[in-house]
A and B are shown apart, each in its own frame.
Chain A
Amino acid sequence: MAVRVQREDFDLAAELKALTAGDHRIGGLASFVGLVRDMADLGAGAAAPVTAMTLEHYPGMTEKMLVRIEDEACRRWHLSASLIIHRYGRLEAGDQIVLVACAAPHRGDALDACHFLIDWLKTEAPFWKLEETPDGDGHWVDARDSDTAATAKWR
């Protein structure tokens, strides 16, 4: 079980390989990777181009909340290993933002825990996104009701 909040990118293949290395009780590994999209959803079907975003976090509280979220996943499902990596700082379209990975003896636990972690993280972990448009303007992304609803289904 591990949580990392970092500025630098991560090597997806290496992280997933390391997570299951040496544990042959693991039968399934589920992962989710969040990427910087090049379009911002403005609601009502409208969209605006995005060139980059800056992710801000609350050092200390962010790590604490991620550890708590991961502990909750371990209470609910039978996991052999889990990993959350979340980046901060300025990221460009196409860059990796977040990795959530769960390994378990059986796929159901791995898949459900992975889904739970990303849904929960989006509404509970203190990160904020500032999107940049091509003309250099920045605007803070609003929290979405759909994310709150996604978390609510796990309560």
Chain B
Amino acid sequence: MPLYLCNMKTGSVPVEAKAKIARDITDIHCKATDAPAEFVHVFFLEEAEAPPLDNNQAYLQGNIRAGRNSAQKDEIIRGMCGSIARHTGLGIADIGMQLMDVPASWVMEGGDVFPEPGEEAAWLEAHAQRLAAEAAK
């Protein structure tokens, strides 16, 4: 978490653009939320069942931890849609985006329940210590 799913019409996002967009999505999310980059997953899908493309050429659905404020969400949406437009040549009107709030307590990553927003540093430290202790057994 977060998980960003970018559904797109076949051929609308060039192969070489995907790594650049994934980098931008990761950077934009981390800048807006202070979350560590390793938490950010970006998957590109072509004409998948979900998230729905509707009339868009590309549709980005972000499943993010609940607790982000409107300013953070605005920054994320503006930045990520801009990145997709810049790297694909699509118009902003051809790109849809939605953010879905997911309670942190519903997700386990690295074998630990996800931290609430703002508690990542302590979580990472405790997680690293737990893994080191298990490796030493």
Mutual binders A and B: no
Residues of B at the A interface (CB closer than 8 Å) are none
